[in-house]
Chain A
Amino acid sequence: MAGHDAGSQHQFTGIAKHFNSYTIIGRRNCVLATYASLAAIFLFFKLKPKKKPAVTEK
């Protein structure tokens, strides 16, 4: 719990080098990516233009 994980026993390649659940940097990046994804989804639905109903002649 206390102390930092050096992660020296894990050899990651590719995207796993930056996003993994073993090294502290990897865990931090996963957390930031999750928050960024959630913010992006929220902003997408917030800024999505709403469809106006078609105006018909009476």
Chain B
Amino acid sequence: MTLSLFNQFLSPSLMWTPLAAIALALPWALFPRQTARWVNNRLLSLQSWFLGQFTQQIFLPINNPGHKWALLLASLMLFLITLNTTGLLPYTFTPTTQLSMNMGFAIPLWLATVILGLWTQPTQALGHLLPEGTPTPLIPVLIIIETISLFIRPIALGVRLTANLTAGHLLIQLISSATSVLLSILPAVATFTITLLFLLTLLEVAVAMIQAYVFVLLLSLYLQENV
């Protein structure tokens, strides 16, 4: 019984062929590509407007050298938001519930911001490890604490996304299982669980979009510190 609750998170395979690649390619297939037309259709215009608004908002506080990251962060945001929301459909696999994938995004991008900071402005990058105005006896302690918090960042980034998505999917499965059992036994209680399931689904749609945004926002903040 306990094992079956986590079966939904197993990476799908067909005849020993991993299907995760198809799941990861889905966002690419869903969104239309830019055309050479002067005026595009409504869907493409809406997509361009959304990406433009998002990129403008994220990169407003970042200096000009950091604007090279615009394409990377905008496409990452679109990718994560699509994976998260399509994973809420019944019987779909959500790749962002896999810690390996989220760490695969978090660690290289975080490390890139750190290396960028150390390479282009090493004094500022190292100086930020000690908060301004720290009393002298606390200096070594605070430097160690700041260093630990620096290395915790990619772990927190990956685990945050994984835990939020996994917990949400698990809750949905638990409450929907309870509802299907209670429908025949106690229909009155089942109406309560159905209402709860509906509200939880709305919450999970919001969480799916917010967590994708938070992931990219935090990366942009780390970039802002180092560029």
Contacts and interface: CB of A to CB of B under 8 A. Distances in A.
Interface string B125-137: 0111111111110
Interface in A3-36: 4-5, 21-22, 24-25, 27-28, 30-32, 34-35
Given A2-B61, A4-B124, A28-B123, A21 B129 contact: no
A2 B130 contact: no
Interface residues of B, number: 21
Decide if the interface of chain B is mainly helix, strand, loop or mixed.
helix
B124 A34 contact: no
A30 B139 contact: yes
Nearest to A5: B132
A50 B75 CA distance: 56
A50 to B, nearest CB: 28
Interface in B105-146: 122-124, 126-136, 139-140, 143-144
A56 to B, nearest CB: 45
B47 interface: no
26 contacts: A1-B225, A2-B61, A2-B224, A4-B124, A5-B132, A21-B130, A21-B131, A21-B132, A21-B133, A21-B134, A21-B139, A24-B124, A25-B127, A27-B126, A27-B127, A27-B128, A27-B130, A27-B132, A28-B122, A28-B123, A30-B130, A31-B127, A34-B140, A34-B143, A34-B144, A37-B140
Q: Give the 4 A-B residue pairs with the shortest CB-CB distance, closest first.
A: A27-B127, A21-B134, A27-B130, A24-B127
